[in-house]
Structure 1
Amino acid sequence: MTSLPSRAEFPDGFLFGAATSAYQIEGHAFGGAGSTHWDSFAATPGNVTRAENGAIACDHYHRWAEDLDLMAEAGFDLYRFSTSWARVLPEGRGAVNPEGLDFYDRLIDGMLERGLRPALTLYHWELPSPLADLGGWRNRDIAGWFGDYTQIVARRLGDRIFSAAPINEPWCVGWLSHFLGQHAPGLRDIRATARAMHHILLAHGTAINAMRAEGMGNLGAVCNLEYALPADETPQAAQAAALYDAYYNRFFVEAIFKGRYPAEVLEAFAPHLPEAWQDDFTTIQAPLDWLGVNYYTCKRIAPCGGPWPAHHEVPGPLPKTVMGWEIYPEGLEKFLLWLARDITGDLPLYVTENGMASESGQRDTDRITYFRAHLEAALRAIKAGVPLRGYIAWSLLDNYEWALGYGKRFGLVGVEFETLERQPKASYEAWKLAL
């Protein structure tokens, strides 16, 4: 069987894990969770494949012990999971749902009983509907609402958390959802995008400060990065790729670590950002203990006519996953080197998501090959001096893949969605052997 690099090839103390997120696996119809903007987005024709939603998902709400057993049996060190804002606070504010906090209590205790370190994400995209009704991420008040939610979670669960990050993949929460309209709330509005992206960062810093105030440590941020390659050798293509890199990769990390937004993005965003936005960098730059990188692919960017950003993606020559994403492990290595050299210095880095969707079922040797190539890229970065401290595979389970419904399968463990039976794949067994 195709194999993965072994634990012994990595530095002592290097951590391996697998990840999931609340709405994608728990079953949002259970346990008193409130309505989210993903429920209404999915109920709108044309938004989600077969109008599927997360009401049942993988039923992790009831099957969590089985899933944690799978994590432990594979030999993973940590489990990256998320709490659902709408499960903890069904209205987004106000009354706490005791069943929600009790569930996460049981889940975290279950991790610790199995020797798994709980790696918490506070927001993985399921905004409570009542807050969406108030403008969601467009409303500056969301930073305070998110801070209050964070405090509730920190007070109840923070004493047992290994690591925590406020918001998963801010680019998806901001740009993908408010400019491209492909995720909830499904907007295509540059003013909404500029404000959402700024308020996401303000909420991030507010949450970091709230967790620090409750005595939590080992706090970080998780940003998704996508390597931008010019579609050809023209200066115009190079400029287009640089702009893509600015709003996708640099916007959030430069805000957090440098206290600025890229000039190429401000060219379009400046008229739409909230008043006195520059004053918020004091909060946005709340000190961190680590940075997480979610990496999957590269994109080929070509210029085109029309309004800013005046470019589009074109197909590339490399092998692709069933998502249509090129397999480019070199991009992970380049990002890790860039971050350590130019952005984060000696700050510990983690690969917080990496994986591929595959249609090969249980004999998923293509997924093993993908993991091996990216683990080897991580090893090269470590040998070059990058302070990489861990690698987390996406995903433990086949799950709800947002606008693509249940058709795209990223899991190390297959889920038969009619019966909810778990079926470990060859990639799960490869991880088990490596760890």
Structure 2
Amino acid sequence: MIKDGDNMDQSELVPVLNIGLNTGRYNFDYAMAELKALSVANNMHVVETIVQNLNQPVAGTYFGTGKVEELRDAVIDTGAEIVVANDELTPSQIRNLEKVVEVPVMDRTGLILAIFANRAQSREAKLQVELAKLQYQMPRLHTAMNQRLDQQTGTSAGGGFTNRGAGEAQVELNRRTIQRQINHVRHELKNVNKSAEVKRQQRERVHLPNVALIGYTNAGKSTIMNELIKRFGMNDDKQVMVKNMLFATLDTSVRQLQFADAKKLLLSDTVGFVSQLPTTLVEAFKSTLYEAANADLLVQVVDYSSDNKADMMATTRKTLTEIGVPDLPMITVYNKADLTDTDFPSRAGDELIVSAKDEASIDMLVDVIKEKVFTNYVTATFLVPFAKGDVVSYLNDHASVLKTDYLAEGTQVTAEVTTIDFHRFEQYLVDEVKD
């Protein structure tokens, strides 16, 4: 987790008061630490945290009566401008709390949506966030306006739409407006997704393995990706943004890497996960997470220095299930080992302990990735006629050439090639290597 006000003057941050209800159903301390980090990620400064132990939330006010009064006093004493709750609140809970504390109340879902709205850069991400916000608003068109307008006009609900109370009619109009907006955004997303799908199909036609970095937000996925791009990228200026903050980037970045032995792969850096990720966002970002769902290998990046790493890994597993990612091959990379007393890099099976800034760590990671994804390579010897120089050029560019000899009959090339290329150039295969 990051600390309050990292990289920002606290005077620039909005003072907020975090609240949470410990029902004993999950790791409460972890959830509250995460809420604090989410608040910081939304340019907030947590001035105080108030918690209560209850079996379940109070239907009307979330907290019990005494705790609500304590919350009101804390808002006054600390000068907090917003109250942020660790759970998703009902419209009536928000409304009733706001009446008492007299400052806006935001729930966890609203906070995450606000962060996503501020961070979205691409058209696809902006549309996905907009869709999630509209879906979040739809069930929250509560009857407050209904009751307020009915009191003002003296009307009451009738049998048909035209005879309904003024508040009810207004809520229904708002609902229809939001539904139209949802339909419009979905249509726009469909057009954007078509363009993205064309690019994906173009990548798939190249037959390169796809490796996807996944994991809890701020675990170091983007840092690892940048280190790999720096050393093996086809165009090293295509670095991805790195910032010590939750959800620094929302867009999936895809880069092509080429290693010294000419083997190539596609590497994608996906949006980070967080516990209790709103269902609306999970649905909206399914297309963004396409790269993870269709990867040949998942690389789960975990913050090894965090006391909550087990919970973070559980969050990743849960989110993968929610977005429909199948049971794909996966290695686990425990990153940020330089912040601990553990020796690194080290490997135990499919688990690595590394530091993204350590060259030996990146070497080990590359070796494991290559071991996992380049299983379809075979060593073969081809005797290519001189007239087919393009075949030799292709092998030099796309295969790991082990030996080249120039014979009377043509160029003899021994190389590691994919099974696809093996069959493509099968006519040039030689049974015995000619010296």
Interval of TM-score (by shorter of Structure 1 and Structure 2): under 0.3
User: TM-score by structure 1 length?
Assistant: 0.26
Larger Rg, first or second structure (1 or 2)? 2
Structure possessing the higher relative contact order (Cα contacts under 8 Å, 6 or more residues apart): 1
User: TM-score by structure 2 length?
Assistant: 0.26
